[in-house]
């Protein structure tokens, strides 16, 4: 069962990495096209750090929560260049980020989905809130929400159905 799970994770990572890279490069390309040299350089430096983390973690089955969060922050910051949104990352202080191991790149596809379906079509004011909570020594709870300034009760995303309709209309 463990081998099957590891193979599934490997397949997911192989499919996701091209999206991950393409999205980050698209953000940098947009800045270059706007002739924003300062932000282009900042984004390129973040992209370089992101690539280093991905390459360092690519052969590992698991990574520390701390490393996963570093990777997520860089990814989100690059995506925020393409789509105007804010984010909060709330990490439970009870979590031992340095020693807690999780599968590498397991959280990123969910954040990508929240951006793609909830935030990317909003002109301004979108926000993603990512929270972790320690359940016990072996379990953490991860919550990813599209939220407005009023907190978790207000969803600023347009929703998956409206997102699908807008995608259909664009082609």
Q: How far apart are CA 43 and CA 56, in angstroms?
A: 20
Is the pLDDT score of 90 beyond 80? yes
Top pLDDT among 124 and 110 is at: 110
Collect all residues with Cβ–Cβ distance below 8 Å to 159 and sequence separation of at least 6: 117, 118
Q: How far apart are CA 50 and CA 76, in angstroms?
A: 11
Percent of the chain with pLDDT over 90: 16
Sign of CA dihedral 14, 162, 33, 75: negative
Q: Which of 156, 57, 165 is nearest to 103 (CA)?
A: 57
What's the rounded mean pLDDT across residues 77-83?
Answer: 83
Is the pLDDT score of 153 beyond 60? no
pLDDT of res. 59: 74
| pLDDT, tens only, 10-26 | 656 655 567 777 877 88
Which residue is associated with the tokens 């984004």? 43
Collect all residues with Cβ–Cβ distance below 8 Å to 148 and sequence separation of at least 6: 125, 127, 154, 155, 156
- Phi first, then psi, for residue 13 (nearest 5°) are -60, -40
Which of the residue ranges 60-64, 105-109, 122-126 would you say has the lowest mean pLDDT?
Answer: 122-126
């Amino acid at each position: 069962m463990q081998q099957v799970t590891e193979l599934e994770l490997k397949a997911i990572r192989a499919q996701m990495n091209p999206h991950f890279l393409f999205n980050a490069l698209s953000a940098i390309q947009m800045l270059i096209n706007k002739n924003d040299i300062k932000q282009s350089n900042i984004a390129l430096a973040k992209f370089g750090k992101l690539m280093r983390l991905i390459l360092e973690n690519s052969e590992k089955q698991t990574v520390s929560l701390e490393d996963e969060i570093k990777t997520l922050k860089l990814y989100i910051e690059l995506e925020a260049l393409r789509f105007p949104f804010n984010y909060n990352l709330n990490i439970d202080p009870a979590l031992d980020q340095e020693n807690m191991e999780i599968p590498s790149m397991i959280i990123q596809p969910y954040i990508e989905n929240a951006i793609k379906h909830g935030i990317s079509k909003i002109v301004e004011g979108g926000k993603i809130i990512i929270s972790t909570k320690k359940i016990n020594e072996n379990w953490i709870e991860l919550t990813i929400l599209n939220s407005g300034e009023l907190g978790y009760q207000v969803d600023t995303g347009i929703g998956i159905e409206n997102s699908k309709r807008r995608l259909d209309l664009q082609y």
